[in-house]
Amino acid sequence: MFTGIITDVGTVKSVDKTGGDVRLGIQTAFDLSTVDIGASIACSGCCLTVIEKKEDMFFVDVSAESVSKTTIGSWVEGSRINLERALKVGDELGGHIVSGHVDGLAKLISVTSDGDSYRLKFDVPQDLAKFIAPKGSVALDGISLTVNEVVDDQGSNQFGVNIIPHTWDNTTLSDHCEGDAIHLEIDMLARYMARMLDVQSA
């Protein structure tokens, strides 16, 4: 489990592809002496397992299934990614409960300056739109964010978020351009509520 509070922006240093699988070497400022082999680290919202450590790098294997459902297949040497270590019991829960399982890809359709902040608008797959509500939570590339607005109009499923300067400067959101795909994880509570309602109406 994670909180969606990014604690480092790492850099992909190596990409080794075997069939559809990928092994990534990721450079980080984390103290890797405190990271166990087998530990989970959220890499731009994807929960991945540390299989090896070397100096300031850790290595993860990504299955072909995960590659097909995420943007990981487009990562190259030099790509910057948001990193968060797994939540420990007793840690401060500054964001919301994030599982590290990508539900789909949101498409960035606009970036607008708003004072020192930025307003970002995304298009979301229709099957995920029902889980996104104003003032609810989403994780975008692993970042816990509050939904400002939702637009469901004529087949368009869009939502907007406001990004404060700290988040803009300390995550990879500022790296993205209009048209980019970004990992989307819906709020876990919304997922279970929707399931309960589906069962009750069946």
More confident residue, 160 or 199: 160
Confidence of residue 199 (pLDDT cuts 50, 70, 90): confident
Average of pLDDT values for 16-37? Answer: 96
Share of the chain above pLDDT 70, in %: 99
Which architecture does CATH list for 104-201? Beta Barrel (2.40)
pLDDT (tens digit per residue) in 145-154 = 999 999 877 6
Common-topology check for domains 8-85 and 104-201 = yes
CATH, domain range 8-85: 2.40.30.20
- Looking at residue 202, what is its pLDDT? 63
What are the structural domain ranges in the chain? 8-85, 104-201
- Looking at residue 156, what is its pLDDT? 78
Average of pLDDT values for 19-32? Answer: 96
Share of the chain above pLDDT 90, in %: 80
Strands (E), the chain: 8-18, 21-27, 40-43, 46-54, 57-62, 80-85, 104-114, 117-123, 137-140, 143-153, 156-163, 181-186
Average of pLDDT values for 121-136? Answer: 93
Question: Against a cut of 0.75, is the pTM above it?
Answer: yes
Is residue 7 over pLDDT 90?
Answer: yes
